[in-house]
Chains A and B, each alone.
Chain A
Amino acid sequence: MIKIVSSGFDPFQEVHAYQQQQQSLAGKYGATNLFIGTMRDLNEGDSVKGMTLEHYPGMTEKQLARVVAKAGKQWDFLDSLVVHRVGDVFPDDVLVLVAIWSVRRGAAFDASRFIMEALKSQVPFWKKEILVDDNSRWVEKNTDGY
């Protein structure tokens, strides 16, 4: 399942609710991997007090579905849940959740990483940061993740 949400969400509640709802998963999965991306209050050496996440409605969902489908061709996982926040966010808010259920751990770890990296380079979301001095700036590129 893919969800784009414009208000705050609890990733653990999302995972719990989804898992309860997917009866077919019961007893079948041996691994669940969760990636949760959270907003920091510091970026490139500057204090950040807020951020706006813009997206391209329609294309975002379409490209995200494609990324998940690509992962499904490469790794044999049972189910997935991707939730991404849009709109105004603040430090400590959750920005993204990627949850993968699989029989064994390998597919859950690998598919989760693949989906996150592909999401960051292919799915149309853009971040605009608001600094503590009220200046704002667009995030122009992703880091390598380390």
Chain B
Amino acid sequence: MAIKVRYFASLKENLGRDKDSLDFEKSISVAEVWEQVMPEQAIPDNTLTAVNMEYVTLAHQVHDGDEVAFFPPVTGG
């Protein structure tokens, strides 16, 4: 199964990239996605997570073709 992972704003700058692609054998959680793409760095406390452009928790299970996003608190308006 393959998913796309995206990063935005300060998180993107800190990580030095805006996306990753990830292949895995069985369904995994959003928290496990982070562990796979950033094995050396704990997820920052205030990070927001989305799958297919809907907010989800870290426990949400990710499936083939999903787009997972990690980003800091939003500050529009």
Residues of A within 8 A of B (CB): 37, 53-56, 58-59, 62-63, 84, 95-96, 116, 119-128, 138-142
| Number of A-B pairs, beta carbon distance below 8 Å | 72
B32 to chain A, nearest CB (A): 22
Which residues 4-31 of B sit at the A interface, judged by CB distance below 8 A?
A: 6, 8-10, 13
Choose one: B6, B8, B54, B69; the contact of A54 (CB below 8 Å). Answer: B8
* Interface residues of B, count at CB 8 A: 18
A37→B77 contact, CB < 8 A: yes
Given A120-B76, A142-B75, CB of A126 within 8 Å of CB of B53: no
B10→A126 contact, CB < 8 A: yes
A125→B69 contact, CB < 8 A: no
Q: How far is the CA of A34 from the CA of B39 in the complex (A)?
A: 47
A100 to chain B, nearest CB (A): 15
A97 to chain B, nearest CB (A): 11
Choose one: A58, A62, A96, A122; the contact of B74 (CB below 8 Å). Answer: A122
Q: How far is the CA of A116 from the CA of B13 in the complex (A)?
A: 27
**Besides A59-B53, A124-B74, A142-B75, 17 new A-B residue pairs in contact (Cβ under 8 A), listed by A number:** A56-B6, A59-B50, A63-B53, A95-B76, A119-B76, A119-B77, A120-B74, A123-B74, A124-B8, A124-B76, A125-B74, A125-B77, A126-B75, A127-B76, A138-B9, A140-B72, A140-B75
B54 to chain A, nearest CB (A): 8
B50 to chain A, nearest CB (A): 6
**Residues in chain B near residue A127, CB distance under 8 A:** 75-76
Choose one: B9, B53, B77; the contact of A96 (CB below 8 Å). Answer: B77
**Residues in chain B near residue A116, CB distance under 8 A:** 77
Closest to B74 in A: A124
Q: Does B65 contact A (CB under 8 A)?
A: no
**Residues in chain B near residue A95, CB distance under 8 A:** 76-77
Choose one: A59, A62, A141; the contact of B75 (CB below 8 Å). Answer: A141
